[in-house]
A and B are shown apart, each in its own frame.
Chain A
Amino acid sequence: NAGVTQTPKFRVLKTGQSMTLLCAQDMNHEYMYWYRQDPGMGLRLIHYSVGEGTTAKGEVPDGYNVSRLKKQNFLLGLESAAPSQTSVYFCASSYVSSRTRETQYFGPGTRLLVL
């Protein structure tokens, strides 16, 4: 099993450009998440999905959109990139039998630089 994979690994954008980050998981997990990680701020939740066809906003959703058309894929879109979106983006997935003991499995991350 590959677990959680993310593409691309690294990308440079100019302000105003758009892009889509792809996350794929092969563990048949219902829940999927997109986080961004910035120095000194830990991981912040952007959007999440509790199942195919569903999405919800997290802590920092502005400037991002998501789609979960297939259970195994979760896409994160930036319609008009801004320098403030320079960050490392992590996707995670989980099977939630108990919220208290949920284990999230993370991908390797995508480094995005917006100039």
Chain B
Amino acid sequence: TQLLEQSPQFLSIQEGENLTVYCNSSSVFSSLQWYRQEPGEGPVLLVTVVTGGEVKKLKRLTFQFGDARKDSSLHITAAQPGDTGLYLCAGVANKLIFGTGTRLQVFP
């Protein structure tokens, strides 16, 4: 069974702080996706990283795919209350394998 572990599980920070969320696996994936899920809604795709070592930026969010395509990180610069939500990584094999999730709360 392929597993994706995310850390930390919970993160509570003040507006303006930086943070990093990690997504780790012992399995190799063809690509890796990050989703954000807000309360009462389904996950929404933020980004797909495909190449080992790839870095993608989405405004204040920076996503990196590990060189061996087994892990990924999400870094948020100057977090805002609007960043609050559940962040899920998902490894792409023949199906999506979702991580355990990181719940982020950003206080004004």
User: A-side interface residues toward B, CB under 8 Å?
Assistant: 4, 35, 40-45, 48, 58-59, 90, 92, 99-104, 106-109
Assess the B42–A41 pair: CB atoms within 8 A. Answer: no
- B92 and chain A: residue at smallest CB distance: A100
User: B-side interface residues toward A, CB under 8 Å?
Assistant: 1, 4, 6, 9, 30-31, 40-45, 48, 50, 88, 92, 94-96, 98-101
Cross-interface CB contact of A4 among B40, B42, B88, cutoff 8 Å: B42
Cross-interface CB contact of B42 among A48, A58, A99, A106, cutoff 8 Å: A106
Chain A residues with Cβ below 8 Å from B44 are 106
Assess the A101–B95 pair: CB atoms within 8 A. Answer: no
Cross-interface CB contact of A108 among B9, B40, B48, B101, cutoff 8 Å: B40
Tally A-B pairs: CB < 8 A. 53
Assess the A104–B96 pair: CB atoms within 8 A. Answer: yes
* In the bound complex, CA of A13 to CA of B82 (Å): 35
* In the bound complex, CA of A99 to CA of B41 (Å): 25
Given A45-B95, A106-B44, 15 additional A-B pairs, CB 8 A: A42-B88, A43-B88, A59-B1, A90-B42, A90-B43, A99-B30, A99-B94, A100-B30, A101-B50, A102-B92, A103-B48, A106-B42, A108-B40, A108-B41, A109-B40
* In the bound complex, CA of A40 to CA of B101 (Å): 7
* Chain B, interface SS category: loop
Assess the A40–B9 pair: CB atoms within 8 A. Answer: yes
Chain B residues with Cβ below 8 Å from A41 are 100
Assess the B50–A92 pair: CB atoms within 8 A. Answer: no
| Distance (whole angstroms) from the CB of B47 to the closest CB of chain A | 11
Chain A residues with Cβ below 8 Å from B92 are 99-100, 102
Chain A residues with Cβ below 8 Å from B31 are 100-101
Chain B residues with Cβ below 8 Å from A109 are 40-42
- B89 and chain A: residue at smallest CB distance: A42
Known contacts being A48-B95, A99-B92, A100-B92, is A42 close to B40, with CB within 8 Å? Answer: no
- A92 and chain B: residue at smallest CB distance: B42
